Amino acid sequence: MVILSVQNLCQSYPNKKDVLKDVSFEAETGKVVSLIGPNGCGKTTLIKTICGVFGQKNGTISVNGVPLSSMSRKETAKVVGYVPQNVIYSGHSTVFDTVLLGRFPYVEWTYTKKDIGIVSDALRCLGLEGLSGRDIGHLSGGQRQKVFIARSLAQDPRFYIFDEPTNSLDLKNQLNTMKIMRDIVKEKKACLVVALHDLNLAMRYSDEVIVLKDGVVFDKGPPEDVITADMIEKVYGVSSKIFEEDGEFFVHLYEGID
């Protein structure tokens, strides 16, 4: 088992108050860990700090005790795969070529048949094989989002760090993508740390949920323990009811509370 450990993490932007305050949690392989919380609570900042996009102000981020900051760039790329919220792409690139970039940490200059096979499998896994030769600029937002997820699959890291990956997807694709990722996490003994807004998705697919509010960890633990009507009211300001059907928990939201 490999553990990603975030300890006492603080983060701030220039001339602004602290965005993350003393955030600590652990994510272990074989699990889906959801980050939830209202807009501006620090989810994206936390993800970008873990991924090294932002330098960390205080605290440590380590994998099995080895700080990520002490690893080489390529070593880190084999450990952490990142899909940002707003993904940049280049037109005139095919879907296959875009996903192929995920193999970069393993390749010096020329891709091997193994790389081509891994990319093909990633495309098939997300049902994108029919789009392999299409220009990524000609895809819908949802299709493109799946291409970027496929790229991170091709990267084959131990920790997939996704920032709101289901935003552009329709209902069916949201469920399919989360299921695929959960299956991959279990099969490959990897870990998915994912920022989500949809509490039902978090409830359904997470092994653990971390609730952020105003830059601090409000609560963490198994989804059925953490996602409660009380938490939703305190963190989101929304009244809700949690109900159970066939052993699964669902969130029903009422109107916002002013």
Partner 1 sequence: MTEPQDGSKIQISEIFGRSKKDVSPEGVYISGLRKKLLFIIIASVILVCVAIVSLGIGAVNISVSDTISAIAHAISPSDFAGPENEWYSTILFQGRLPRIVLAITAGASLAVAGAVMQGTLRNPLVSPFTLGVSSAASFGATMSIVYGASVFGALYYAQVSVGKYAISFSTVSTMIFSFVVGMISISLVLILGRRKDTSKSTIILGGVVIGYLFQAGVTFTKYISNDEALRDITLWLMGGTWNASWGSMIILVPIILIALIVLEGMSFKINTLSAGDDVASKLGIDVNKLRRDSLILSTFITSVCIAFTGIIGFVGLMAPHICRMFIGNDCRYLIPASAVAGALVLLASDTVARIIIAPSQLPVGIIMYLIGGAFFIWLISKKNVGEYW
Residues in contact with partner 1 by the rule CB under 8 A? 48, 51-53, 72-74, 76-77, 80-84, 87-94, 96-98, 100-102, 104-105, 107-114, 116-121, 123-124, 129-130, 132-133, 135, 137, 151, 155
Interatomic CA distance for residues 77 and 130, integer angstroms: 28
Least distance (Å) from partner 1 to the CB of residue 147? Answer: 11
* Pair 165, 192: CB distance under 8 Å: no
Alpha-carbon distance values, 137 to 68, 90, 91, 108 (Å): 34, 7, 5, 27
Residue placing its CB nearer to partner 1 in the complex, 150 or 232: 150
Neighbours of 56 (CB within 10 A): 18
* Cα distance between residue 188 and residue 2, in whole Å: 12
Specify the residue, 74 or 252, whose C-beta has the smaller distance to partner 1.
Answer: 74
The neighbouring-strand residues paired with 67 are 62
Compute the least distance from the CB of residue 232 to partner 1, in Å: 31
**What does the alpha-carbon distance between residue 73 and residue 135 come to, in Å, rounded to a whole number?**
29
Give me 118's structure tokens.
């891994």
User: Closest CB to partner 1 among 88 and 171?
Assistant: 88
Q: Between 16 and 113, whose beta carbon lies closer to partner 1?
A: 113
Nearer to partner 1, 22 or 115 (CB): 115
Given strand 18-28, what is the order of strands in its sheet?
18-28, 3-12, 58-63, 66-67
Supply 111's token pair: 């891709």
Return the number of the residue (124 or 241) whose C-beta is nearest partner 1: 124
CB of residue 41 to partner 1, shortest distance in Å: 20
